[in-house]
Amino acid sequence: MRKEIADLWIKALRSGDYEQGRLYLNADGKFCCLGVLCEVAIKSNVHISHYKTNRTMIQQYDGYIASLPMSINEWSGIKTGNGAFIDDHSLAGANDFEGKDFDEIAELIEHYWSIL
């Protein structure tokens, strides 16, 4: 992953601007850590379609609702759609199933950014 993008992501996760959610990039205004990266991309003027579906409050980013779209992978340099970093560990898993908060996930990104 590109270091400058990792730094922007870490800053956004620690900003307090995003309420943490689970399982979706952005549902009902609550964000998975990967959804925060999507928002960082939008704020960095990356062209990505984003909209809420008609029947739910789930935000789509280039049609994706639970993993990173390729446009974000290409922009950020992150290798996978779930933020895999070592063996079977991923940032999505840390967020959704391990109960790690955004500060703990930011620490993971600080430590593993070069292999994300």
Q: What's the burial of 95, exposed, middle or buried (CB within 10 Å: 0-12/13-18/19+)?
A: buried
> pLDDT tens for residues 70-79?
999 999 999 9
Q: How confident is the model at residue 99 (pLDDT cuts 50, 70, 90)?
A: very high
Domain residue spans of the chain: 3-109
pTM check: above 0.85: yes
> pLDDT tens for residues 35-51?
999 999 999 999 998 77
Q: Is 86 left (phi over 0), alpha (psi -120 to 50) or beta?
A: beta
pLDDT for 55: 64
Residue 93 pLDDT > 70: yes
